[in-house]
Amino acid sequence: MTCELGSESAEPALRILYQDESCVVVDKPSGMIVHRGWANDDCDLLRVTRDAIGRYVYPLHRLDRGASGAVLFALNEHAARTLNRGFAEGSIGKRYLALTRGHPPEHGLVDHPIPRAPGEERVPAQTEYQRLGTFERYALVAVWPKTGRLHQIRRHLKHLSCPLIGDVRYGKGEHNRWFREHYAFERLALHAAALRFVHPLTEQPITVRVPLVGSFARCLAALSLQDAANAAIARDFAD
């Protein structure tokens, strides 16, 4: 079965950000699952990517359905083993942008245990964050997860009493409705803005950045936060 992005989507079509013989990085649209597992949608990012490049792809990590941004797939078994080891060891850098209700401290580290998967016991989880700018009671935040747990960023920002806009599970309904009504913003305000990994064949560092487009970009522009978002995307990863 050929899987295609729905033509009715308000978000842009799939964008291939980086590709070579070992791996491919794509920009996942908000609203799409990465691959079948906890959900069984008719369409998923793995199949969309496979059909777009005409090659088998190996899943490596997940991104929440409502989030957008960088997702890395391997294109052969060696690359899959090597990159999976990088994710397991925490050596792959990930930077997210989030729009929150409430202002977190300027910079900090959330160290709060959460489950790896539904129904499992809580395990250690850490998320570093930096407040980039504010608009009234809302804030743009850059986030660096140090571990990979279920809904980690969403749970940790809620732990700071700063839930994400558009988060129907952990957020605030009245604020989500406000953004839908005033900014036509109907998605989760979470974007995987940059990804850094060591190439599985050349062993050279690769950084892929994902510019904001669609409703998230328009919303941040209306809040005068787009320049801060673009600067955070362009920033180099700290060694």
- Catalytic annotation, residues: 64
DSSP string, the chain: ------TT-SSPPPEEEEE-SSEEEEEEPTT--SSSSS---S--HHHHHHHHHTS--EE-----TT-EEEEEEESSHHHHHHHHHHHHHT-SEEEEEEEEES---SEEEEE--EESSTTPPEE--EEEEEEEEEETTEEEEEEEESS--TTHHHHHHHHTT-PBTT-TTTS-HHHHHHHHHHH---S-SEEEEEEEEE-TTT--EEEEE----HHHHHHHHHTT-HHHHHHHHHSPPP-
Q: Which residues contact 128 (CB under 8 A, 6 or more apart)?
A: 107, 108, 109, 110, 143, 144, 145, 146
